[in-house]
Amino acid sequence: MANRHTILLMQTSHNRATRTFMDYDSISQAMDGICGLYERKLKDLNPAIRNITYDIADLYNFIDGLADMSALVFEHSIQAYLPYDRQWIKQRIFQHLKKLAH
């Protein structure tokens, strides 16, 4: 799964103008990117708090609170991008954070 170009598609609200994308060189970097988005949001909401902590349920709520989020991951064997939904992203984030904790 390493080094598979990943494009995250995201819509933060029901307004179609909030659609955006981010691309990463790997699934792991994309998962770090999602965590970074959430951490920036937490800092914006809590500017006076220096050390902000959160758990996986908070991160899942952030992802579920978005109007839409999905991923396109490049599959070398077919030379095409495969689509993945929000549930897959949450599973990948869990695996990624679990790996980082060890």
- Is the four-CA dihedral 48, 15, 59, 2 of positive or negative sign? negative
Two tokens, residue 93: 């984030």
| DSSP-derived pairing of the beta strands 6-11 and 19-24 | antiparallel
pLDDT of residue 1 exceeding 60, the answer is no
- Cα–Cα distance between 2 and 14 in angstroms, integer? 33
The one-letter code for the residue type at 28 is S
Spatial CB neighbours of 13, under 8 Å, sequence gap ≥ 6: 67
Q: pLDDT class for 52, splitting at 50, 70, 90?
A: confident
pLDDT tens digits, residue range 69-100? 999 999 999 999 999 999 999 999 999 999 98
pTM: 0.89
What domains sit in the chain, N to C, each tagged with a CATH number? Answer: 6-101 (3.30.2260.10)
Q: What Cα–Cα distance (Å) separates residue 73 from each residue in 11, 52, 83, 93, 96?
A: 18, 31, 7, 14, 16
Decide: 11 and 80 in contact? Cβ < 8 Å: no
